[in-house]
Structure 1
Amino acid sequence: MIVVKRAELIFICFMLLHGFAATLNCRKATPESLFAELEKNVFPKNLLRPVNNFSTPTIVTIGITVVGIIGVDEKSQTLTTLLWQVLEWDIEGLSWDEKECGTKRVSVPREKLWVPDVFITQFTDEDKSPKTPYVYIFNTGRVYDDTPIRVVSSCRLEIYTFPFDIQNCSLTFGSYLHFDTEIRMMHSSTSEEILAESHNVLETNGEWVLAGITVASSNLTLNLGSYSEVEYHIILRRRATLYVVNLLIPSCFLITVDLFSFMLPPHSVDRSSFKMTLILGYTVFLLIMNDLLPVTGETTPLINVFFSISLALMVASLLETVFITNIQYRSCPDRAVPHWLSVLVLQYLAVVVCLPREENSSRSSIFLNPSATKGQNSRIPNVPGFHLECLPGDAAPTEPGLDELRKVSRDLLAIRLRVEQHFQGGQSRQEWQMVGRVIDRLLFGFYVVFITFSFVTIACIWTWSNSYAS
């Protein structure tokens, strides 16, 4: 037993001293001869990193090609893609003559060679892609490992501009265990080459468009050491046509219909019923389209804000219609407009909405104001102070005549007070109606500004999104 262990130890030491320096001499240009040499000089060393000295790092070159964009899950913040991953590294000292051995490259089982432990930092699920059992070895000692991988990776999704959003998801490739003194990662192709090749082989044509790819080398420094990494940034653009047709256009139609409802008389009961029907229809529309909206707890999409403001304006227009109807049919129309409301609405807001205050009608010229006649005989004098002068030739009024005059005086006073109350009530009603008209015009202006601003914003964001040409 001790002899066996000594023999193993001597063998390992011999391998460490001689490293992987091996020039294969094929006796014949046949596969059997080449594999016999590989079995003798290379395959037994599959547990060791293929270098002649442990201080020499292994340069691992990586390249990827995006074959398919399977899906983006906003709720779980994950990206699912299908990639072709190509790893290349050198077995130091290994070579053979192409003519002598009959081939430039040969495929060998993966488990026969040392393979770097390259993984993706953002992995969140098991790789369920089919495994390739073979790798290529070239006569220069270069190993070529090409394998498909299904990547479910975490991605910080920004959906504020949904459905015109652009997502930038990163995939970081590096060794799980080896430091940069042992394995150094390098990218094999430029960003333009990777993007062009990906567009040529891209199989999916779903919701997302591959807009760009960037690549850069980096190092991750921890307490124990530094890890060499290659970071790819995959830029995705959402196809917004589906959401524009199903969400934005119907919503804009309903808002436009509600805008034209301002052409109806403000005090009309039909206008209130019409607006209530629109609000009900808009609410049902939002409930049906709720599944198309992204769900996340970090940011609120701008389209959700658009829907909320649209619904708020519809409710505000209904409340404003109820207010105007109440003014028109209120049971106590003679109550005067509060001073602060009159100043705010009739003096300031009326100017803003270009609705000048109406002058008093001609009937106000006959309006009897008791305060205006203060100091004068504002009422018919009482009979005790009323001395009827007898004109020459006239007889003095009798007592029954005085009683009749007193009755006529009281009746006239009551009639005049009722007329004053009537004209005062008419003026108050006119002021309340003016307040309603100003508020109605102001809300109409808000509608126009909101719709215009929304259309301009949507057009700008859509143009910015399409600038990332696929």
Structure 2
Amino acid sequence: MAELKKAWIIFTCLSLLHGFTASLNCSSPTPESLFDALERDLFSKKLLRPVKSFSSILNVSLDMTLSAILGVNEKAQSLTTIIWQSQVWKIEGLSWDEEQCGTTRVSIPRENLWVPDILITEFMDEDVSPQTPFVYLFNTGHVHDDKPVRVVSSCRLQIYTFPFDIQNCTLTFRSYIHFADDIQLIQRRTADEILEESQEVMRTKGEWELIDIKADQNHLEVTLGGFSEIKFYIVLRRRPLLYVVNLLIPSCFLITVDVFSFFLPCGSVDRGAFKMTLILGYTVFLLIMNDLLPVTGDTTPLMNVLFSLSLALMVASLLETVLITNLQFSSSQYSAVPKWLSILVLQYLARLVCLPPKKKSNRVTVCLHPPNRAMDSSVISASDLQSIYAEKPPPDPALDELKKLSRDLTAIRVQIDKHFEGSSSSHEWLMIGIVVDRLLFAIYIVFISSSFASIISIWIWNNSVDT
């Protein structure tokens, strides 16, 4: 009797256990029988959240895999990606026996089930990815929903260090209307596992590369309650080779040519024409490559600052060439160099730019027969000649020719002395032009070197901070 009672208890427990794990009764292990049972006990309740009571929380396990990076739009501040979104939840009280129904899982149309409204809050455009009409339903009551999603999400892009920039974009998954008391999101895998799989399945090898994925589970509080959400931080790095080859290297070549143009003779007209042609070529280069530069109203990239600075330096070097050329070709029309300017430039600045002043010559020109007042004039008038001839009787023709030749030589000497006096002033202006040219060239080299070094340092520092 005791054994019979014991067997009855065991049978009752097995029956209860069987009834708990196999709520669906299939008449035969065929798809038609299982579908009839699902239609009778499950499909009719697709409008209700699959829980036993309203106070029960439905746990949804969420997972994602980044499979493609389609592009980044700096102007629209958006990121376009392809992800595989996977979510799993359990229908309470649903189960069936594998032997009785013939399978452990079955694919059923999505519209026949209640599906959680899990969305990405950063969505900016309609999802145009292929729709998957089926989900997997397991005999334990778990539903597996995997689908591809084309995500056009908003992302605050920082392009200050373009093209060596690193972007950190966020994808936030949460229910659209259900509070945390109704749906609780659970992260199924760690961020490292998601990153490893994403890098393995990544199909695109374009401008951007995936370097890291981070995850964080949050609780968003609002007025009526709170939402359960999971944030995935997608860290991307731009491949800069295209921009370095097409933008930076040609710009550096043109700047180098402009630097070496200072070695042309400063008094040459070809130097100014060469610099003007260089500026024209650089402007055309910027117009052609303008499509490669990012367009945004938030910040100005360092590369744009570099190009503007290079163009400004070219224009400054052209203005410097105009100034020096004016000193070289119009110095004869200037008055004598002021004493203070001569001392400042030819003595102090000349030593600063390694152009020491030349020592003055010790030779002195002595005139044994200095010309009288009448001979100081460059033009001898006819009345002066008459007064000279009236003093003495006309000599013989040979002596007269010698006196005439002496007067002509004296007039020539006076003109040559005046010319040398003007040449001395012009020579000082020429020397001032040479010293100023070399000084401005040194300033140009220092300024362009410091500017390029500062920009490169900022690029390196920002990349080290971002990584």
Q: TM-score, with normalisation over the residues of structure 2? A: 0.78
Task: Pick closer, same or farther for the CA change 1:223–1:298 going to 2, 3 Å.
Answer: same
1:349, 1:79 → 2: CA distance?
56
Equivalent residue, structure 2, for 1:133: 133
1:133, 1:210 → 2: CA distance?
30
2:195 is aligned with 1:183:
no
1:346, 1:56 → 2: CA distance?
93
Task: Pick closer, same or farther for the CA change 1:57–1:448 going to 2, 3 Å.
Answer: same
What is the number of equivalent residue pairs in this alignment? 413
Q: From 435, 438, 441, give the equivalent of 2:436.
A: 438
Provide Cα deviations, 1:36-84, integer angstroms capped at 9, x if missing partner: 2222222111111111121222111211111211111111111111111
Q: How far 1:105 sits from its partner (Å)?
A: 1.3
Equivalent residue, structure 1, for 2:316: 316
Equivalent residue, structure 1, for 2:252: 252
Provide Cα deviations, 1:240-280, integer angstroms capped at 9, x if missing partner: 11111111111111111111111111121111111111111
2:77, 2:209 → 1: CA distance?
18
Equivalent residue, structure 2, for 1:52: 52
2:71, 2:339 → 1: CA distance?
60
Provide Cα deviations, 1:273-292, integer angstroms capped at 9, x if missing partner: 11111111111111111111
The answer as to whether partners of 1:327 and 1:433 remain within 8 angstroms in 2 is: no
Q: How far 1:340 sits from its partner (Å)?
A: 7.5
1:297, 1:346 → 2: CA distance?
50
Equivalent residue, structure 2, for 1:332: 333
- Match of 1:167, SS state, is strand
The answer as to whether partners of 1:337 and 1:432 remain within 8 angstroms in 2 is: no
Return the letter of the residue paired with 2:193: E
Equivalent residue, structure 1, for 2:287: 287
1:191, 1:358 → 2: CA distance?
72
1:275, 1:441 → 2: CA distance?
18
Provide Cα deviations, 1:323-381, integer angstroms capped at 9, x if missing partner: 111111115232435858964x6677656x54355255237x869xxxxxxxxxxxxxx
The answer as to whether partners of 1:357 and 1:434 remain within 8 angstroms in 2 is: no
Equivalent residue, structure 1, for 2:212: 212
- Match of 1:173, SS state, is strand
Equivalent residue, structure 2, for 1:63: 63
Q: Which runs of 5+ in 1 are unaligned?
A: 1-19, 368-381, 383-399, 402-411
- Match of 2:156, SS state, is coil
1:103, 1:309 → 2: CA distance?
72
- Match of 1:224, SS state, is coil
Q: How far 1:439 sits from its partner (Å)?
A: 4.2
The answer as to whether partners of 1:21 and 1:92 remain within 8 angstroms in 2 is: no
RMSD over aligned CA atoms reads 3.7
265-274 or 455-464: bigger deviation: 455-464
Equivalent residue, structure 1, for 2:406: none
2:289, 2:432 → 1: CA distance?
40
The answer as to whether partners of 2:346 and 2:435 remain within 8 angstroms in 1 is: no
The answer as to whether partners of 1:337 and 1:431 remain within 8 angstroms in 2 is: no
Provide Cα deviations, 1:76-134, integer angstroms capped at 9, x if missing partner: 11111111111111112222222332222111111111111111111111111111111
Provide Cα deviations, 1:185-218, integer angstroms capped at 9, x if missing partner: 2221212211111122222222111222111111
Equivalent residue, structure 2, for 1:17: none
The answer as to whether partners of 1:24 and 1:37 remain within 8 angstroms in 2 is: yes
Task: Pick closer, same or farther for the CA change 1:31–1:104 going to 2, 3 Å.
Answer: same
Q: How far 1:234 sits from its partner (Å)?
A: 1.2
Task: Pick closer, same or farther for the CA change 1:69–1:359 going to 2, 3 Å.
Answer: same
2:297 is aligned with 1:297:
yes
- Match of 1:47, SS state, is coil
1:347, 1:305 → 2: CA distance?
38
Task: Pick closer, same or farther for the CA change 1:226–1:425 going to 2, 3 Å.
Answer: farther
Q: How far 1:449 sits from its partner (Å)?
A: 5.3
Return the letter of the residue paired with 2:86: V
1:49, 1:243 → 2: CA distance?
53
2:173, 2:245 → 1: CA distance?
39
Q: From 412, 424, 432, give the equivalent of 1:426.
A: 424
1:348, 1:105 → 2: CA distance?
93
Identical-pair percentage: 53
Return the letter of the residue paired with 1:332: Q
Task: Pick closer, same or farther for the CA change 1:253–1:55 going to 2, 3 Å.
Answer: same
1:255, 1:161 → 2: CA distance?
21
- Match of 2:55, SS state, is coil
Equivalent residue, structure 2, for 1:105: 105
Return the letter of the residue paired with 1:144: H
Q: TM-score, with normalisation over the residues of structure 1? A: 0.77
Q: How far 1:305 sits from its partner (Å)?
A: 0.8
Equivalent residue, structure 2, for 1:267: 267
2:347 is aligned with 1:355:
no
The answer as to whether partners of 2:66 and 2:84 remain within 8 angstroms in 1 is: yes
2:348, 2:141 → 1: CA distance?
86
- Match of 1:156, SS state, is coil
Q: Which runs of 5+ in 2 are unaligned?
A: 1-19, 366-372, 374-390, 393-409
- Match of 1:82, SS state, is strand
2:462, 2:160 → 1: CA distance?
14
2:312, 2:342 → 1: CA distance?
23
Equivalent residue, structure 2, for 1:144: 144
